Every structure is written in structure tokens, then in C-alpha cells.
A and B are shown apart, each in its own frame.
Chain A
Amino acid sequence: MATAHQPPSTAPHHTAAGAADTAALESAFDAAVAADERIEPRDWMPDAYRSTLVRQMAQHAHSEIIGMQPEANWITRAPSLRRKAILMAKVQDEAGHGLYLYSAAETLGASRDDLLDKLHSGRQKYSSIFNYPTLTWADVGAIGWLVDGAAITNQVPLCRCSYGPYARAMVRVCKEESFHQRQGYELLLALSRGTPAQHAMAQDAVDRWWWPSLMMFGPPDAESSHSEQSMTWKIKRHSNDELRQRFVDICVPQAESLGLTLPDPDLRWNEERGHHDFGAIDWTEFWSVLKGNGPCNEQRITQRRRAHEEGAWVREAAAAYATKNSERKEATA
């Protein structure tokens, strides 16, 4: 007997007599992936596939949770009640998306507490983009347009990821996120067409968020360590550079409609390639932020850890109440 979330039996895998079985299981797995079938939680899967997925889903969940902070930074200062409602709903969605993704990771036997511990102790990462500060109201718009835009470009292919629970979580996330990018764009448009001070605020935000957004697609293909295997397993369906190019091509005309410029003098249409050429990304900055030297790394993790620690007594209280209550029910039964 096994429950829905119990990891599948690995017995055949570990017995000497099971070597042939393992080969058979592995080729069945490869065939299923190749045929675009979904892998479900209790199916046999290679250990590396499992650990890659747990790591990726956890980091994705962590990014949603940490990603609440830069935007929540403006909830109490939102300049109109309409914007305030939109922003609150958006930050709430991010908590929800974190929950969907943690629950997808839990289908592989990971525990959320354990994953949160790894986040809090720095053993698992989150998207580096959230280590940049939100300095003005326009940053809320720039995050919606550029950061969510880049995230959606990354995430839409994940809806067809080979691992069923991840793909299903992403379908839900993408459906809900479509409003996030649009609200960001609309917010920037209002600023761009507003007073000169508002326009300048919008341009400044785009200037600061453009390059970090391009870095969100990860290092260039030549230097990306996990890419190739993830592509074979259909966890990933397009290369970093391919998605980055797609994003740039989408953004250029959108920036024009906004009446804002993108801070790259080398950005121009290349007729021959049918794509926009763009300038060199400062990968030194990328690696430095990733290693913990971004403007907000320390602040983000400290706040997350504090919320968790200060909430411990609440979680304990609810658990204690549940225990008492079930004992009481048993006693009266």
C-alpha cells in the first residue's frame, strides 16, 4: 500500500538482480519522455531527474516567495486605491504560486519545511532578480512588465514540462500571471504619459531593470551547466539564449509604444537574422549578485527568515490545538 505522495519504490534499482530491471525501467522512462508522455509522481524515474526537478521546483517556489518582498515594499505607498488593490492581489498571487510550486515539489517526497530550511540557510537559491531594490513606484511597473515578462517567457514552455505536477502547476501559474504583466505595462504607460516627473520615474526604472531582466534567462548556452540534460528530459524546452532573444524581440516594440527607451545603444534590428541584436550582458555582475553581493541579498533572506522564526509560535499553537482537539474527539467518541 502506498499513499499518493510516497516516493515510488526504488527496490529493483538497488538489488544486484535488479540491474536488468533498472535498464528496462530506464528505457521505458526514456521512451515515455521521448513520446511526450507525462511522468507522474509514483512512476519510476532516474535519481538525477528527480533531484533536478526537486531543485528546480524548489528554487522556482523560493523565487515566488522572495519575489513578494520588492513589490510588497510599495503596497503601503501605492498612489491610488485602484493600484493598491491590484498590487495587493498580485503579491498575494505570488504567495499562491509559491504554494502551488512547493506542493508540486512535495509530490516527489520533499517536505516544504525542509525546502524552506534550505532557502533560509542559503543552500538553495532563488532568482537573483529579486536582489535588486524597488526604489520608486515605477519599479512596480518595471517588475510587472520586464521581470514578469521574462518569467512568463521562461514559464510558458514549462507548461509542457515532462513532469506532470510541475506542468500542471505552471498552467495555473501562467493563467494567473497574465494579469501581472499587463498591469505592469499599464502602470508604466500611465507614468510615461503623465507629468514630466512621472515620465522620468518610468524611464529610470526601465533603465535599472532592463539588464537584470535579460540576466534572468541564465548564463549563455555555452556556459550553462544543467541545460543539455534538462532539454533531453524535457524539463526545459528552449535554450537560455533562445528565450532571451525571444524576450528582446517582444520588448522592443512594446517599449516604443510605451514611449520609453531601452538602455542599450547596440540594440538594433538585424534583417539577416530576423532578430534584434543587443549589447553584451555584464556577466560579472550576474555572478556577483548570485554569490550574494547584490544590493538586497542579505535583506531579503533576513526578512524571510525572520517571518518564519517569528511565526514559529503560531504554527506550533495551531498544531498543538489540532492534537488536543483530536484527543478530545477520541475521548468523547
Chain B
Amino acid sequence: MSSSTEWPLWEVFVRSRRGLSHTHAGSLHAPDAEMALRNARDLYTRRNEGVSIWVVPSAEITASSPDEKDSFFEPAGDKPYRHPTFYDIPEGVKHL
């Protein structure tokens, strides 16, 4: 019916307080970026949930494919030496 005028979809990221990073909150429709920001403020921070908002056109997000999951993420799974718990330190050694 009115699909020709359907407003584009935007992804909304909200910083809930200073010191934290922006986190994906959801999406919404808006005709342009200015309105997307305002709609996001009205919809996703009604209860004081945010101090800063990003909006990104959903179409502009490039996502990794679940089909490539193995080649993307598994190689990182066998490198335990990247994690501090990999190393044995004698008891009593401090500040390490």
C-alpha cells in the first residue's frame, strides 16, 4: 500500500552512562537521521536509560555471516595463551 514511502529502518545504540560504551538497544523507523535521533530519544530513553545515542541506517551495517562462523571465530578459540589464566604464577606473587 504505502511501501513506497515506508521510512527506512535505523539501528539504535545507547550509552547508558558515562564510562560505558554504546550498546545496541533496538531499531526504529525514521525519515532521516535527525528524526531517527529524536525518535530514539523518545522511544529508548523514556526512563532515563541514556546519556548519548547513535543511530545508524540498518542498511549500512555489514554483518559477518553465520556461514563463516567457523573460519571467523574458531581460530581464536585455540589460543589460550592470549588469556591471563593460561599462566601459572607461584602463590604469593603480587601485582601480577
Contacts and interface: CB of A to CB of B under 8 A. Distances in A.
Chains A and B share a contact (CB less than 8 Å): yes
Interface of A: 1-6, 8-9, 40, 42-44, 92-93, 96, 99-100, 103-104, 106-107, 111-114, 117, 168-169, 172, 176, 312, 315-316, 318-319, 321-322, 325-326
A49 B67 CA distance: 19
Contacts of B63: 2-4, 6, 42
A111 B31 CA distance: 15
Nearest to A44: B66
A322 B3 contact: no
B5 A42 contact: no
A4 B11 contact: yes
Main secondary structure of the interface of A (DSSP, over half): helix
A322 B34 CA distance: 10
Given A3-B59, A4-B61, A44-B66, A113 B28 contact: no
Nearest to B49: A172
B43 interface: yes
- How big is the B interface, by class? 20 to 34
Given A99-B28, A117-B1, A5 B46 contact: no
A274 B18 CA distance: 50
Contact of B32 (A9, A92, A96, A322): A322
Closest 10 CB pairs of A and B: A318-B31, A322-B32, A103-B27, A322-B31, A4-B61, A113-B6, A319-B5, A4-B63, A316-B5, A5-B58
B41 to A, nearest CB: 12
A42 B3 contact: no
A9 B26 contact: no
Nearest to A326: B32
